[in-house]
Structure 1
Amino acid sequence: MRPAAIIALFALVWLAVSGSFTVPNLLLGIAAGALSLALIRGHVRPDGRRIRPLKVLSLLVLFLRELALSAFKVALLVASPKMALKPGIFAFPLTVDRDFEIALLANLITLTPGTLSVDVSEDRKVLYVHALDCSDPAGMRRAIAGGFERKIMEAFR
């Protein structure tokens, strides 16, 4: 079934359920039908990749959670009297390959307290990340790969 027909069907169901057959309510039904279809199917980009709105929302939730946790950890590090920090830069091998995905990952890392994206290699295979506490770079690589990078690939592929 074509998307326009599905949206029209959703709009008709909306009119029947709401019991109000007005033009504004019809427009609301069309908008709700289009949004429902977008959430179910996702958007297909010209390069054949999809944008999945629910996965984008999942990425946003992950970012907000990491933002809160990292802010708390940085506050504890800074407030501790000894401040046992081991700052450093580590190389993160990229699985994402498109400029948009790399830029999004770099920005999410930079916006998370305690980390900063420094540079991307010429071949776009490695992202260099500065961490306030780089005592476990392998663990940080795993966390980024299993968190932000995985969610980006789920949302935009």
Structure 2
Amino acid sequence: MRTPFLMNLLLTFVWLALSGNFSLANTLFGFLMSFAIMWIISLNSENRKYFRIAPKTIGFVFFFLAELTKANIQVAIEVMTPKSTMKPGIVRYPLEAKSDFEITLLANLISLTPGTCSLDVSTDRKVLYIHAMYIGDKEKFIRDIQNGFERRLLAILR
């Protein structure tokens, strides 16, 4: 996994050096072009994990940025309006993540989103306790995390 990514970066830097244009758009173009070239070259190769994980990682970054923006707007509106619409609570979230790394990453991503905070993990590592500012429907809140953060994160890590 590390070697194809480093090769992708190396080819991107070669593209930047050859083109002489170091703009963000040209860097992204070079990265995507080198990714496509490496993908075509490795069509008959058995180790294609990088080509499955890279698009999922990019998609996850955009998903997280969208969720982060949505939560920031929601909290900002709450702060600026005189009437409170908060329905705070603590949710017992059943974990599908098993390893310490998966659980820690999920808990940190949840805590980075404004309005939510990961509180604790049960001793058997099957439950994550989450405090949230807006819990209208606990089951919907749990489904949103399962279908959003956890499913996408585990697709990358496993």
Q: Fold match, TM over 0.5?
A: yes
Q: After superposition, give the CA deviation of every residue in 1:38-91 in whole Å (9 maximum; x if it has no partner).
A: x98225xxxxxxx81221111111110100001011111222211132211111
CA distance in 1: counterparts of 2:117 and 2:58, whole angstroms: 23
Secondary structure of the structure 2 residue equivalent to 1:52: helix
Partner of 2:38: 36
CA distance in 2: counterparts of 1:61 and 1:107, whole angstroms: 17
Partner of 1:126: 127
CA distance in 2: counterparts of 1:105 and 1:36, whole angstroms: 31
Q: RCO (CA 8 Å, sep 6+): is it higher in 1 or 2?
A: 1
CA RMSD of aligned residues (A): 3.1
TM-score of the superposed pair, with normalisation by structure 2? 0.68
| Structure 1 letter corresponding to 2:84 | M
Partner of 1:110: 111
| Structure 2 letter corresponding to 1:118 | L
CA distance in 2: counterparts of 1:97 and 1:109, whole angstroms: 16
Gaps of 5+ in 1: 12-17, 19-31, 44-50
Q: Please state how far the C-alpha of 1:98 moved relative to its aligned partner.
A: 1.2
Secondary structure of the structure 2 residue equivalent to 1:127: strand
Q: Which has the larger radius of gyration?
A: 1
Partner of 2:143: 142
CA distance in 1: counterparts of 2:87 and 2:110, whole angstroms: 18
CA distance in 1: counterparts of 2:38 and 2:119, whole angstroms: 39
| Structure 1 letter corresponding to 2:38 | S
Secondary structure of the structure 1 residue equivalent to 2:61: helix
| Structure 2 letter corresponding to 1:36 | M
Q: Please state how far the C-alpha of 1:135 moved relative to its aligned partner.
A: 2.5
Structure 1 segments, 4+ long, off by >6 Å, are none
- % of aligned pairs identical? 43
Gaps of 5+ in 2: 12-17, 19-33
Describe how 1:43-58 pairs up with structure 2 within 5 A. Answer: 43=50, 52-58=53-59
CA distance in 2: counterparts of 1:61 and 1:150, whole angstroms: 15
CA distance in 2: counterparts of 1:121 and 1:56, whole angstroms: 28
| Structure 2 letter corresponding to 1:142 | R
Describe how 1:44-83 pairs up with structure 2 within 5 A. Answer: 52-83=53-84
TM-score of the superposed pair, with normalisation by structure 1? 0.69
Count of aligned residue pairs for this structure pair: 125
CA distance in 2: counterparts of 1:117 and 1:83, whole angstroms: 23
